[in-house]
């Protein structure tokens, strides 16, 4: 049986594991409570601060998926795993990056060949990590998939939850649009890439319909049968520094390359289809929000 090591298990990792067939999974988490939940799922729970546990999980893995975000010292997955790869056999490598590396495009379209111009520290750190993994892949002759991702949503993590908590706002900013992706569509793309190492490369994954956040919030409120929050001009002073950087960027992301190369089609090509599916899953109690992190 093939084994996958997920470095940084959370919302995306949980969705991917639900789709995998014929794979054993090791997964890291710094949180002891999360590691306990990982073990309850029958997976190999690994403490990333334990070098011997990392070596053991790495030794048995044919594929590595890096989902942990970079920090002040760079990509933790690269720091932990690159020394172990030296001189060893090639492995399938997947790195979850962000469409934030494209920076602000004033609502214009971006594709994988668009020159990255990150405008935030987060985007810059992701781009540095991408380059580090690219160098390691070349040195070890390993197939590398870099997935640039927009906002990820799904059961337990969506506008529906913010509305229920009374935290949703309908900020408006002329021309502002974002792309997004349902976590199950992301998991589907990852599972397809795992069995197509020959298609290694750079992919931007998202749905087919970039949209204004205010429109998404209004539709979510309609699904819940509650009044939508009133529209209000964007108030930058009311936002955290991270949120201000988020709202400073507007772009439309193309998913054409992933569709062509991975034979991938999102099951939820619009936020409407995606939110409808989220609500249906929550009503069936199919969601697993306690692992959303």
Q: What is the pLDDT of residues 3-18, one digit of tens each?
A: 999 999 999 999 999 9
What span, in angstroms and rounded, lies between the C-alpha atoms of 156 and 283? 11
The CATH number assigned to the domain holding 148 equals 3.40.50.720
- Residue 147 belongs to what H/E stretch? strand 144-149
pLDDT number for residue 222: 98
Residues whose CB falls within 8 Å of the CB of residue 222, separated by 6 or more in sequence, listed in order:
228
Answer yes or no: pTM beyond 0.85. Answer: yes
For residue 134, what are the domain limits? 2-291
Q: What is the pLDDT of residues 176-193, one digit of tens each?
A: 999 999 999 999 999 999
Cβ atoms of residues 25 and 3 within 8 Å: yes
Q: How far apart are the first and last CA of the chain?
A: 28
Place of tokens 């991938």: 264
Total domains in the chain come to: 1
For 97, 103, 131, 132, the CA distances from 75, given in Å and listed in that order, are 11, 20, 11, 9
Q: What is the pLDDT of residues 159-170, one digit of tens each?
A: 999 999 999 999
Q: What is the pLDDT of residues 267-288, one digit of tens each?
A: 999 999 999 999 999 988 654 5
Q: Which residues of the chain have pLDDT under 50?
A: 287, 289-293
pLDDT number for residue 285: 66
């Amino acid at each position: 049986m093939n084994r996958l090591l997920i470095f940084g298990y959370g919302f995306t990792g949980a969705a991917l594991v639900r789709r995998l067939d014929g794979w054993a999974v090791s997964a890291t988490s710094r949180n002891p409570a999360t590691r306990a939940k990982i073990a309850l799922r029958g997976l190999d729970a690994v403490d990333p601060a334990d070098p011997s546990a990392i070596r053991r999980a790495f030794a048995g893995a044919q594929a590595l998926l890096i989902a942990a975000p970079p920090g002040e010292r760079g990509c933790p997955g690269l720091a932990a795993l690159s020394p172990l790869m030296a001189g060893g056999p090639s492995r399938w490598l997947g790195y979850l990056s962000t469409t934030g590396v494209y920076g602000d495009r004033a609502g214009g379209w971006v594709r994988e060949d668009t020159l990255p111009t990150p405008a935030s520290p987060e985007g810059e750190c992701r781009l540095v990590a991408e380059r580090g993994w690219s160098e390691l892949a070349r040195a070890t002759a390993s197939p590398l998939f870099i997935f640039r991702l927009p906002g990820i949503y799904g059961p337990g993590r969506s506008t529906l939850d913010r509305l229920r908590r009374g935290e949703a706002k309908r900020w408006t900013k002329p021309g502002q649009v974002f792309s997004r992706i349902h976590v199950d569509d992301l998991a589907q793309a990852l599972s397809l890439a795992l069995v197509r190492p020959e298609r290694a490369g750079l992919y931007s994954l998202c749905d087919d319909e970039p949209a204004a956040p205010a429109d998404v919030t209004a539709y979510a409120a309609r699904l819940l049968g509650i009044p939508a929050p009133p529209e209000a001009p964007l108030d930058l002073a009311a936002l955290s520094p991270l949120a201000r950087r988020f709202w400073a960027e507007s772009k439309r992301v193309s998913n054409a390359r992933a569709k062509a190369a991975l034979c991938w089609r999102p099951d939820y090509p619009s936020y409407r289809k995606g939110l409808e599916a989220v609500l249906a899953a929550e009503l069936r109690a199919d969601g697993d929000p306690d692992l959303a992190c």
